[in-house]
Structure 1
Amino acid sequence: MVFLVLLALIFGILLTVVIVILKLLGLKPPLIFGKYPLKGIFYRVKFWIALLVLRRLRYRIYRRNEELLGSEEHLSKIDRPQELSNDPKSYDVVSFMAANREGQKLMVTLERRRRGVLKAALYLWLPKEGLFSSPNLPDMIYFTSEDGGEESSEFRGGGFHVYAEESMKVWRIKYKGVLKKGSEEIPVDLDLRFESSSSEHFDYSRDLSSSLIADSIAREAWNEKFYSLLQSVNHIVDRRTHYEQNGELAGRILLHTEKKMLKMLGFRDHSFGTERCLSSINRYVYFALFLDDGSSMVVGNLSQPSFFLSSLKVGYVCSPEGRYQPLTGSNFELYSYGEKGIPPQHQNFIVHTAEKEYLVQIQVEESAVRYVGGDWESKVFNQFVACTVNGVSGQGHAEFLYRHKGGRPVDISSGDPSWYQNIKRFERSLTLLEDGDEGDGDFIF
């Protein structure tokens, strides 16, 4: 009897200790601007727990399945245009960013959505001529189906056609139409070929630094919602894929009657799944830099508090031979750069890999604005920049994304097909029923 009482007492003490620990880990850390968490008193403990769990998770999902995930069959499968599921949030995006030492810069992005909806943008920055952009900008929406009943199977529409010629190796970018330069519209015929510099690619779920992810997680309050999210990690990973490849972009562009040959360092981004809801993203900043020594660098910071990542730093350095090293540290903080909605014209920050420290200096040459989402949920400043990294000159791109609550203007949306307007009204009505608040609804297209 005494033994049972002692056992119950020990169990009660252990349970109390566990409850106290969970309560302490769930304490909300100090926030900058009410959004960005600092390191709380239990940061170090949480960091090591998160790091251990991440490494175990990545081993189970990736390292243990390297042969399958690296097979030609699997890579060919993920590199082609993806079949869009019945999920209304289903998406498939391919993007290119490139620049050369002469200062020429190109950005192309195409996002496939259900019912033949395509979101596309093209920017071409030529130092002597200025900035050219696709004619619909700042709106990105194109309709490739007359009645919304036909699903797309290609990155094609609005004069664009982007396709693979050799899986994970060669892609072709074609555009025939007009580009805007100020108020002028100029006929354009563009034909470019992207070739990756190696057979490797950088997978954001697999290759991002575990330390950077653990740092972001350790700053958050580990509450009941957080533990619930942990239980669905496998499901979330299965619903989003994002990888990049660096290489060379070359070809010709015919501007009116003037033919130009372009040759740039660049990268291709491919992402797809159903977990890309812009309405949940607070902010992000993203740099793609291409240096004169043939190397390149991606640096970013994402704020998505609903996903317990109020400030997730990301990025990598890529050698001229196509070898990737993830960033392991960065002092680029969102609250220090453009928090009030206006991106800075100069940025200086330091990033680290496991082997080296890099001082990055950015100077903006030109910028443009576009709106992302079916109801313009986000506003993106695209900056065309010159840079210096550890004394090496380069050129590149920067993106500053902010939440936008102004909606898509009536003078633009009134020209949408009737089937699209009907879907929009239907989704709005569902949102109102679920949220009971007209201000919080988001159109998911």
Structure 2
Amino acid sequence: MLPPPRILGVYSRPGFWFPVKLVFFYFLLRLRRLMGSSGGGEGTEEKEGEEKLVVGATAGYGVKSKPTVKMMECVQQLSEHPKAIDAVYFNAANSSGHYLVAATARRPQGVINGLLFIRIPNVGILQLPRMPDTLMFGDGDQFGAEGLRITPVTPMVEWKIQYDGTMKLQGSPLSQHQVELDVTFTSDQPYFDFDTDMDAWTLARSVALEPWSPQYFHNLKLAHQTHYEQMGRLEGTVVVDGRPHVLRLDSMRDHSYGHKREWKLMHRYGLHMFTTEDGIQGNVGVICQPATCSRLEMGYIYREGQMEPVTGVDLTLWQHGENGHPPNDYAFSFTAGGKQYMVEVSVLEAPEFYIGWEWETRVVERMATFRVNGEKGWGLAEWDYRHHGGRPHIYTSHDPAWTVDLVKG
């Protein structure tokens, strides 16, 4: 029996076998989690505290990637694939309208996909001189290049973000401002590991929507990346043209690594990372990557000392900004811990950037205010779109000469 046609040729719908596939994949996830926590399967067994973990087994879908947080937090050894990935990302905001976004993705040959936005009220949004392009070139041994450096200090406790160089104001491409950034991320909160902590029914539902075949499960394996996130605080100073500004922000960070990251697989996503006045922090959204999951409802919230995975997200992507222009004033709901949350989003600023040698993806980094069940909040609403326009010559012409012969994918 053929699966029903995809909505807009992209988004899968439940077919005749959907209930059977849902139950089957749910129990498969539960089995993998049981094997991962008991030391079953391939690989050697080590302990982190009282928890047994599998070393060397295939990570994801219930199985952790590393036996200790120290091994997770360090600079990872890249695979031999031209699109190997080891990436860290931070965003932060507060109720006064300060926002910061910083990221560095390590690629082979010292290539870095890097970005930095700093929004200061009455100043504007500062961004790196080369943006919206994000290709940077470093030594390959750290999360940094061209003045931007992100450094792990204590695993799952502390990271440093530093920058020393010129930046430009959004909307003024010829402007130059001397900027020195020195901020520290700290956290005493647990991390959320998407390899093991996603709600099993929710993940199974996303996989069961798709047409199954040997190629489909091969795609799942090839596309997998370990990804974990942590909420915390970001504090420090940024000095702009000699004038210091104190930053005290609520923050979220993530770390991703895997065999490769292929942005061409991603159709789009909408993620919402927020903090509320009553102390709830979360990341909630929907991802559309048709080769694996065309509707992956994902996320978690941290409230009252507990981490709760999302069990449903009522945000229909094809009804929100499918034309490449995400809405600036909208609402959706999600469920976590047996409770429903209504989220209202109002976008203040929406700088954009592109990633990859071909600008394969376009990211709209929307600095926003939130209301979550009526409580005021602040944070980022990051929406991503597949981009087909290529990387302009004005940027490619400034790449180092050695990149001409580099295998890029």
| Correspondence list, 1:318-333, <5 A | 318-319=302-303, 321=305, 323-333=306-316
Quick check: 1:29–1:219 contact (8 Å CA) kept in 2?
no
| Alignment correspondent of 1:207 | 197
1:58 matches 2:41: no
Q: CA deviation at 1:229?
A: 5.3
Aligned pair count? 387
- For the pair shown, which has the larger CA radius of gyration, 1 or 2? 1
CA distance in 2, matches of 1:85, 1:34: 33
1:345 corresponds in structure 2 to 328
Mark the CA change 1:417 to 1:99 in structure 2 (over 3 Å): closer, same or farther. same
Letter in 2 for 1:349: F
Partner residue of 1:361 out of 344, 358, 363: 344
Alignment of 1:298 onto 2:283: yes
> What is the TM-score normalised by the length of structure 2?
0.89
Which of the numbers 372, 376, 379 marks the counterpart of 1:393?
A: 376
CA 1:381/1:229 → structure 2, altered by over 3 Å: closer, same or farther? closer
**Distance apart, 1:45 and its partner CA:** 2.2
Taking a change above 3 Å as real, the CA distance of residues 92 and 71 of structure 1, as seen in their structure-2 partners, is closer
2:23 corresponds in structure 1 to: 48
Q: Give 1:405's match in structure 2, choosing from 384, 388, 400.
A: 388
Q: Deviation of residue 84 (structure 1)?
A: 1.9
C-alpha distance 188-227 of structure 1, shift in aligned 2 (>3 A): closer
Tell me if 1:191 matches 2:182.
Answer: yes
- Equivalent residues of 2:38, 2:52 under 8 A apart: no
For residue 7 of structure 1, what is the aligned residue in structure 2? Answer: none
Q: Quick one: distance in 1 between partners of 2:226 and 2:290?
A: 20
Q: Retained in 2: the 8 A contact 1:100–1:395?
A: yes
Out of 220, 223, 233, the position equivalent to 2:210 is: 220
* Residue 248 (structure 1) aligns with: 233
Q: 1:52 aligns to what SS in structure 2?
A: helix
Q: Provide the C-alpha distance between the structure 1 equivalents of 2:183 and 2:304, rounded to a whole number of angstroms.
A: 20
Contact 1:105 1:384 in 2 (8 A): yes
Gaps of 5+ in 2: 40-44, 54-63
Identity %: 33
Q: Is the aligned partner of 1:265 residue 2:253?
A: no
Give the conservation status (yes or no) of the 8 Å contact 2:137–2:145: yes
Greater strand share, 1 or 2? 2
Compared CA separation, residues 236 and 385, structure 1 to 2 (3 A)? closer
Return the offset for 1:299: 1.0
The alpha carbon displacement at 1:119 in A equals 1.4
Name the CA distance, whole Å, in 2 between partners of 1:311 and 1:275.
21
Q: Take 2:120 and 2:354, find their aligned partners in 1: how far apart are those partners?
A: 23
Query: What's the counterpart of residue 168 of structure 1?
Result: 156
| CA-based RMSD | 2.1
For residues 29 and 60 of structure 1, the distance between their equivalents in structure 2, rounded to whole angstroms, comes to 35
Cα separation, partners in 2 of 1:292 and 1:241, compared to 1, 3 Å: same
Matched, 1:82 2:93: no
1:159 aligns with one of 131, 134, 147: 147
- Tell me if structure 2 keeps the 8 A contact 1:212–1:328: yes
Structure 1 length as normaliser, TM-score? 0.83
- Gaps in structure 1 of 5+ consecutive residues: 1-23, 146-151, 428-442
* 8 Å contact from structure 2 (residues 286, 313) kept in 1: no
